[in-house]
Amino acid sequence: LYTAGRDSLVRQWDLTNIGTPRLFDGHCDWVNDILVSDEDNLLITASSDHTVKLWDLAGHEDRYTSSHTLFKHEDYVKAIAFAPGDRRLVSGGLDRSIVCWDLNTARAMGKHALQKQTEGVYSLAMSQASSAV
């Protein structure tokens, strides 16, 4: 189980023995969304610090630091989505844009301003085929 919030930390909890959680420390503002890819051993977070972070879950430390920080948004990043088995991620935020990311290279594949979106992007979902967002 992973939790996050206003303190900029992500916590990983062991539900069989709730005690001290493992910490993911790297954001400097609220963490708004979390995704886990068991297949890739990856945790992905979106934050009000305008970034998306990738975290390698292979380590067994008590405190993690991010392996990659993805910058492209000009305002809070509120939502992230990806299709299992696909190495593409989509992020959306209050800048009314979505950014498509290649997780193999940790680089943006494109940023798209949503002209018809009158408010920020607060949630995202991606189809299994990853062609529709």
- Confirm if 59 and 67 have CB atoms less than 8 A apart: no
CA 34-35-41 angle, to 5 degrees, is: 125
**Per-position DSSP letters for 67-118, written without gaps between them:** SEEEE--SS-EEEEEE-TT--EEEEEETTSEEEEEETTTTEEEEEEE-TT--
Q: Please state the pTM of the whole predicted model.
A: 0.89
Query: What pLDDT does residue 58 have?
Result: 81
Query: Residue 67's pLDDT band (boundaries 50, 70, 90)?
Result: confident
- Write out pLDDT tens, residues 90-114: 999 999 999 999 988 999 999 998 8
Phi and psi dihedrals of 107, rounded to 5? -125, 150
